[in-house]
Amino acid sequence: MADPVVPEYRGARRRLIETLQSKGIKDLSVLRAFELTPRHLFVQSGSLHRAYEDSPLPISEGQTISQPSVHARYLELLGLTGHERVLEVGTGSGYQTVLLSHLAAQVFSIERIPGLLATAREAIRSCGCRNVSLLLGDGTIGWREYAPFDAILVSAAAPDVPRPLLEQLADGGRLIIPLGGRTEQTLTLITRSGDDYKRRDIVPVRFVPLLGTHGWSTS
């Protein structure tokens, strides 16, 4: 895949990589994914000058794109090797989807907001990704047609892990999700071993609520 980042952003992109390293991100594959992914394509025009800052930024439909160091922590915890089939719940801007495309063999991403998915689809296409499949729907029920998944990454907070996602996680697979209330949660890593699920709490976080059948109610 050709590097889609235009020259005037190379300095800013390099500074972002240095920021991620200063915050403890060591996985070279993860850092390379950030180097290859043009964040400026996933933010609104009024935020272009801040595209490579380590900060969340507003996107369409009243949503936000998470700060890069949060994405990096997620991805480093999953420990992807490039051979995995990954499910992303919450496509959002599509930025994390493209990061995943550089780290996994296949990426399946679900978004519940039509306008957001349409915008993300265009940005993902402009990056030249060929290993990404997108679905408009309820991410809390997963994407059973392509299960099991070696890794599942949930980009919104739930009161508990949606049961369908646990069922669609491959043996030995990892699932990462923010768990807790609507305003404060704990980033949690779930590892499956047969019918057992080992839970590891990582760090306090704040994410938007995961809406859907097995998440928070939309009403």
Three state DSSP letters for the chain: CCCCCCHHHHHHHHHHHHHHHHCCCCCHHHHHHHHHCCHHHHCCHHHHHHCCCCCCEECHHHCEECCHHHHHHHHHHHCCCCCCEEEEECCCCCHHHHHHHCCCCEEEEEECCHHHHHHHHHHHHHCCCCCEEEEECCHHHCCHHHCCEEEEEECCEECCCCHHHHHCEEEEEEEEEEEECCCCEEEEEEEEECCEEEEEEEEEECCCECECCCCECCC
Question: What integer is the mean pLDDT of 53-65?
Answer: 88
Q: Is residue 216 part of a domain?
A: no
Q: What six digits make up the tokens of 77? A: 């915890």
Q: Is residue 165 part of a domain?
A: yes
Residue 170 in this model has a pLDDT that exceeds 50: yes
Of residues 210 and 3, more confidence is placed in 210
pTM of the predicted model, to two decimals?
Answer: 0.93
Q: Is residue 57 part of a domain?
A: yes
- In total, how many domains does the chain have? 1
Looking at residue 121, its pLDDT comes to 96
Residue 78 in this model has a pLDDT that exceeds 50: yes
Looking at residue 27, its pLDDT comes to 96
Average per-residue pLDDT for the chain: 93
Looking at residue 8, its pLDDT comes to 64
For residue range 2-18, what is the model confidence (pLDDT) as tens digits?
Answer: 445 455 688 899 999 99
Q: Is residue 119 part of a domain?
A: yes
Question: What are residue 152's DSSP bridge partners?
Answer: 87, 175
Cβ neighbours of 191 (radius 10 Å): 15
Looking at residue 1, its pLDDT comes to 43
What does the CA dihedral 39, 82, 85, 80 come to, rounded to 10 degrees? -80
Q: List, by residue number, the catalytic residues.
A: 66
One-letter amino acid of 5:
V
Residue 48 in this model has a pLDDT that exceeds 70: yes
Q: Is residue 212 part of a domain?
A: no
Q: Is residue 1 part of a domain?
A: no
Looking at residue 183, its pLDDT comes to 85
Task: Band the pLDDT of 79: cuts 50, 70, 90.
Answer: very high
Looking at residue 45, its pLDDT comes to 86
Residue 169 in this model has a pLDDT that exceeds 90: yes
Looking at residue 2, its pLDDT comes to 43
Residue 157 in this model has a pLDDT that exceeds 90: yes
Question: What integer is the mean pLDDT of 76-80?
Answer: 95
What range does the domain containing 93 cover?
7-205
Q: Is residue 210 part of a domain?
A: no
Q: Domain of 43: which CATH number?
A: 3.40.50.150
Q: What six digits make up the tokens of 76? A: 């480093």
Between the CA of residue 9 and those of 100, 127, 172, what are the distances in Å?
21, 15, 39
Residue 83 in this model has a pLDDT that exceeds 80: yes
Q: Is residue 211 part of a domain?
A: no
